[in-house]
Amino acid sequence: MKGPGVVLVVDDSRVNRLVLARQLSGMHIDVLEAENGREALDLLRAHATAIDVVLLDVVMPELDGYETLAAMKADDTTRHIPVIMVSGIEELESVVRCIELGATDYLPKPINPRILAARLSASLAAKHLRDLELEHIEQQRLLTETIERQKTELSRFLSPQIAALVSSQEGEQLLAGHRRLITVAFCDLRGFTTFAEQADPEELFGVLGEYHRMMGHAIIEHGGTLEHFAGDGVMIFFNDPVTQDDHVERAVRMAVAMRERFEPIATGWRKRGYELGFGVGIAVGYATLGRIGFEGRYDYGAIGNVVILASRLSSQATANQILLSQRAAGMVEDVADVESVGEIEIKGLSRPVSASNVLGIPASIT
């Protein structure tokens, strides 16, 4: 025997129970006793996790072995406990019936101690393996719950795409760094610096909270990846880590939706004496994307001229303007009404760049 176990002996004969208990004690096995099936079921319900094997007599008053076995196998808490039937009935029909009901084994009386020891050893080993399997299943369940909880916590602080990337095995390669064509959108508020200098901290955070909620809903709706919030400034990119064939169109549709939703918010602020406008810059180009930061504090970010260009266009946009780079404008001319604003001097670039303003998206296309 690999170790002690607990065996429930069910027999209406006190003498038979004592004989079996003595034999089991010699095997270093703990014994529980029941004199009929009903008492056995009560013990099983109370100690199901502690009982490893049941030695069950067939012929008993009140509830016989067949009925007790059937009740055990119908109960999820006891159905996996091995049952060895014990009986003076040696008819093949009785043996078959017990096995069909779910018995593990069948021993005729009088019981040979060596055979009993061998059968119990096999049943206890099977029960031990079953317990290990259930423990593994429970650990997997707890692990899954923990991962899902961590994903939920991550999604509170990261964009959904990045939260999924961090918690997936295939995301590690993307996190390590890669190059991809993306669309970058920068959004911020006109007049925010003056407002921040005058407003109380509580009011400042209230305005930002309302603004960020509006932005967040629009970003998620259009499949954008939020890189960061920085006060009133927001950076979003498209086509990474999830690829999107229509990434430029998504960015423009998102910006138009934000502009439309910003107007009633701005009207409410205006009534309180705050003049705030909304501007956006959008550019398309290749960037290097991946994990940025240091151990203990990483962000998922994009680096490249496209990021700089989108940021500079945003800073040049006046209230309600959505400025597109020349390449971005050319890629959405079939879905958006745009007008050229000519060439714009961009800080850090040696030559002016052509830009266009998004007037809107025709109703026939939306």
Say whether both 196 and 274 belong to one domain: yes
Question: Given this model, what pLDDT does residue 157 score?
Answer: 44
| 144 lies in some domain | no
Please tell me whether residue 256 adopts helix, strand or coil conformation.
Answer: helix
pLDDT tens, per residue, the chain with 366 residues: 345 689 999 999 898 889 888 888 888 889 999 999 999 999 998 888 889 999 999 988 888 999 999 999 999 889 889 999 888 777 788 888 888 899 988 888 888 888 888 888 888 888 888 777 778 788 888 777 765 665 555 455 455 666 665 555 566 666 667 899 999 999 999 888 888 887 788 888 888 888 888 998 999 899 998 887 777 889 999 998 888 999 999 999 999 999 999 999 888 888 888 888 999 999 999 999 887 777 766 677 889 999 999 999 999 999 999 999 999 999 999 999 999 999 988 877 778 899 999 999 987 666
Q: Is the dihedral of CA 75, 79, 82, 83 positive or negative?
A: positive
Question: Given this model, what pLDDT does residue 8 score?
Answer: 93
CA atoms of 15 and 20, how far apart (whole Å): 9
CA atoms of 41 and 71, how far apart (whole Å): 8
Say whether both 178 and 313 belong to one domain: yes
| 249 lies in some domain | yes
Cα maximum dimension of the chain: 105
Say whether both 131 and 185 belong to one domain: no
| 156 lies in some domain | no
Task: For residue 353, give the nearest of 341, 345, 361, 365 by alpha carbon.
Answer: 345
Give the CATH number, domain containing residue 205: 3.30.70.1230
Amino acid letter at 67? E
Domain boundary among 86, 113, 136: 136
Say whether both 180 and 304 belong to one domain: yes
Domain boundary among 136, 160, 178: 136
Q: Return the DSSP state at 61.
A: S
**What is the count of structural domains for the chain?**
2
Contact 294, 259 (CB under 8 A): no
Say whether both 87 and 186 belong to one domain: no
Say whether both 185 and 100 belong to one domain: no
Q: Which residue has the tokens 């094997």?
A: 53
- Structure-token pair, residue 43: 């013990």
Give the CATH number, domain containing residue 95: 3.40.50.2300
Q: Which residue has the tokens 């069910």?
A: 10
List phi, psi (to 5°) of 9: -100, 120
CA atoms of 341 and 72, how far apart (whole Å): 81
| 160 lies in some domain | no
Say whether both 21 and 91 belong to one domain: yes
Contact 228, 292 (CB under 8 A): no
Task: Please give the residue range of the domain that contains residue 128.
Answer: 6-136
- Alpha carbon of 353 to those of 123, 229, 283: distances in Å? 81, 26, 11
| 366 lies in some domain | no
Say whether both 237 and 114 belong to one domain: no
